[in-house]
Amino acid sequence: MKLLLSVTGALFLTGCSVFGQSNVDIAPYQVLKADSSLQIEVRQYAPMVLVSAEMTDGGRNSAFRKLFRYISGENQGATEISMTAPVFMDGNSSAGKGTEIAMTAPVLMNNQASTPLMSFVMPKDFTLQTTPKPTDPTVTVRELKNYKVATIQFSGTLSESNVATHRQILQDWLKTQGYVAISPPVEAGYNGPMTLPPLRRNEILIEIQ
């Protein structure tokens, strides 16, 4: 699975306080199995609509700006929808005319895909048919169905060492439980940069059979 992603530093979701509180909706899922000692869950996500941009040219910052402009109105739409999650970003993000769309947490990033993509999850009432078409041709819309994953939740930052440590814990757990991974690990971030690291919610997701 080559679509999903997260962000670090100034790329995280805002609408969060230093204490980790947020008014951002969470993409809905059902917990199928849990290991509370390791903060691991097996989840079945409801169908999701993702709006994505490649991170190949300009990296994370460029992809993030494109997606932020999309949810701020650079899309083809007639109805204005208030944003529920402002996002910290560098530079200006003046929106074109179109639908203003709320974000849903988390923001996801797959660094190990052949074409790394950053994706925003659309609100749960959006379908592939009702999601406004981007005016930027490099931004794409797609639907994700039957997404079953194993996840591990952890605090701190999404540094390489922190991600590697928890990725290994999750991969070892999958082996002991007999699950088969079918996609590269994905990082997920839920908090803004003002949130204290010990109170942040980060996750690694691995799609499984």
Q: Please give the domain boundaries of the chain with CATH numbers for all domains.
A: 9-207 (3.20.80.10)
Amino acid identity of 61? N
- DSSP alpha helix (H) spans, the chain: 59-71, 160-177
Dist. CA 200–CA 202, nearest whole Å: 6
More confident call, 111 vs 185 = 185
Q: How many CB atoms lie within 10 A of CB 201?
A: 18
DSSP-assigned letter for residue 87 = B
pLDDT, the chain, mean: 78
Q: pLDDT tens across 146-161, in order?
A: 999 999 999 998 888 9
> Is the pLDDT confidence value at 6 over 80?
no
If you average pLDDT over each of 5-19, 21-35, 168-182, 190-204, which comes out highest? 168-182
